[in-house]
A = this chain, B = another copy of it.
Amino acid sequence: MPENNAAILTIGDELLIGQITDTNSVWIGQQMDNMGWRIGAKETVRDSVPVIVEALTRLMHQHQVVIVTGGLGPTADDKTLEAMSVFFQKPLVLFPEVEAKIRQYFAARGKSVSEQHRKQFYLPEGTDVLSNEVGTAPGMHMSRKGTHFYFTPGVPVELRYIFQKHIRPQVEAWNSGSVVQSHLFTAGIGETAVVDLLGDGLHNWPSFLGISFLPYLGGVRLRLTAQDSDGVRNRTLVDQVRKDLIKRLGSHFVSSELGQWNEIIQKMMLEQKLTLATAESCTGGYIASQITHVAGSSGYFKGSVVSYANEVKTQVLGVRKETIQNHGAVSRPCAEEMLTGLLGVIDADIGIAVTGIAGPGGGSAEKPVGTVFVAVGDGSVMNVERFNYRSSRHGIIEYTYHQAMYMVYKFLSDQ
């Protein structure tokens, strides 16, 4: 069995039919990956005892840790407890402390425990209970044949609570101390261009040092991994290679954290005590919503004018009618006037203005679908760029968001 190999199993009919998007396994994958665990498999199965048991059995043979979410709810659909009982060959027994916790949870909300919820008092005999302060179903830990199994509810906030409080400290401790990972987050550059920039540096490293190229919209994440018995040597080596890479990447190196643009920009804006506003046409509020997705964004984000209709561009942002008549709403002058207007309407230090054609309709030969103008600036300096994306409507909006944030990043870095 390879070391540090983990699997994720998500349980629920609703995940199979696309009723809900499985964000849990994405999140768990990120957390485990950042701790140096390798995710060997990810599976989704339906709420069925034999199917769950079969999956647990199979995953056990190839992984040291299996993280299971879902199927712990109070309804008859939920089969995970039953499947655990079969798989671990342990009866479901009353856990008085779990019962007390659940009764208390309902009492605090002025409710009594329903018949259905009593099911949650009974867990497989001998399980380690992982307390859940944000919901009723507790997490659980059990082992079989040397593999550690963790079970959590599928409700994202409960999963995350239980993972951070209980699972993380345990799996972190088991991870062999010699794995060293380091991330480099680039922007404004594709995978091929990164490889070109790194040049022959790539081939001169010892074999236990690996580099992965993980493209994302608008850039590439580089991950350095050193896995060897000598942890100290690894750290030194990784640090050394990192420095070399950062030099080679130049201005395309953005961050060493596995951050998202909204988090990176928030950190920079708060540090520099600056405020931001957006004027959005084709992105329709997407940039603002991504920015405000992050807790604490009210510390720097003032607001937005989503000027989807041209009359909002003229009446609210003060774009001149002649500008739209002469150049079109999707034009450099319009983006510039939107930005100037925005900073007049909302008192922010820096503004982003975006106008473009997200499609699928509205394109022309001169300005096809995917043509986007982004303006970023303060009262005195303004950078405007034109982009031509070939993508779906949503892809164009997503690219524009990344590009706009990268332009803010460059603007802030140049100050």
User: Known: A33-B18, A304-B306. Contact between A284 and B295, CB under 8 A?
Assistant: no
Would you call the interface of chain A mostly helix, strand, loop, or mixed?
mixed
A177 at the interface (CB under 8 A from B): no
How many whole Å from A412's CB to the nearest CB in chain B? 19
Pair A347/B21 contact, Cβ less than 8 Å? no
- Proximity string of chain A (261-304) to chain B, C-beta cutoff 8 Å, 1 when within and 0 when not: 00000000000000000101001111111011101111001111
**Interface size in chain A (residues, C-beta < 8 A):** 80
A41/B43 contact (C-beta < 8 A), A311-B302, A346-B312 known: yes
A284 near B297: Cβ-Cβ < 8 Å? yes
How far apart sit A41 and B11, CA to CA, in the bound complex (Å)? 10
> Residues of B contacting A23 with CB < 8 Å?
21
| A309 contacts across to B, CB distance below 8 A | 298, 301-303, 346
Chain A positions 388-404 with a Cβ under 8 Å from a chain B Cβ: 391-395, 397
Does any Cβ of B come within 8 Å of A126's Cβ?
Answer: no
Residue A20 lies at the interface, judged by CB distance under 8 Å to chain B? yes
- For residue A16, which residue of chain B has the nearest CB? B39
Could you say which of B216, B295, B316 contacts A360, with CB atoms under 8 Å apart? B295
Question: A39 CA to B31 CA in the complex, in Å?
Answer: 28
Interface flags, A104-142, vs B, CB<8A=1, else 0: 000000000000000000000000000000000000000
With beta carbons under 8 angstroms apart, the residue of B13, B286, B298, B360 that contacts A308 is: B298
A14 touches B214 (CB 8 A): yes
* Smallest Cβ-Cβ distance to A48: which chain B residue: B40
A46 within 8 A of B: yes
Can you list 27 A-B pairs with a CB-CB distance of less than 8 A? A13-B212, A16-B29, A16-B33, A16-B40, A17-B39, A18-B33, A20-B216, A21-B23, A22-B22, A22-B26, A41-B46, A42-B43, A42-B44, A42-B45, A157-B391, A284-B291, A285-B287, A288-B288, A288-B289, A293-B397, A295-B359, A298-B309, A303-B305, A304-B304, A304-B306, A304-B308, A311-B347
User: Given A15-B29, A41-B44, list of 19 further CB < 8 A pairs?
Assistant: A14-B215, A16-B40, A19-B216, A41-B46, A42-B44, A156-B395, A157-B395, A280-B285, A283-B292, A284-B291, A284-B293, A285-B292, A292-B306, A292-B308, A295-B360, A303-B306, A303-B309, A304-B306, A311-B347
